[in-house]
Amino acid sequence: MLALKNSHRIVNSKSEEAKKYRSLFEDSDGALIGNFNSDIIHKVFYCRKCNTEVESKTLFSYQKVIKSLEKLLR
């Protein structure tokens, strides 16, 4: 059974990964605020049985692929 839990990721404002969270690291004019680390907290699905974490985007993409394959095989 899947449950929701918080996941933490430390992201530096100058890193490539920070581009995903652009609005957090820019001021209202779009200029980079500075060089700092930020703790990004987001929800993930967690399986208590196998201790696996899956992000919702990954889970929903997987489900979409499975449905497409099922349609194709019919």
At 14-61, the pLDDT tens digits run 777 777 766 666 777 766 667 778 777 888 888 888 888 888 777 777
User: Is residue 53 within 8 Å of 9, Cβ to Cβ?
Assistant: no
Residue 61 confidence (pLDDT) = 79
Residue 29 confidence (pLDDT) = 76
Give the sheet arrangement for strand 52-54, strand by strand. 2-12, 37-47, 52-54
Closest of 31, 36, 41, 39 to residue 14, by C-alpha: 36
pLDDT(5) > 80:
yes
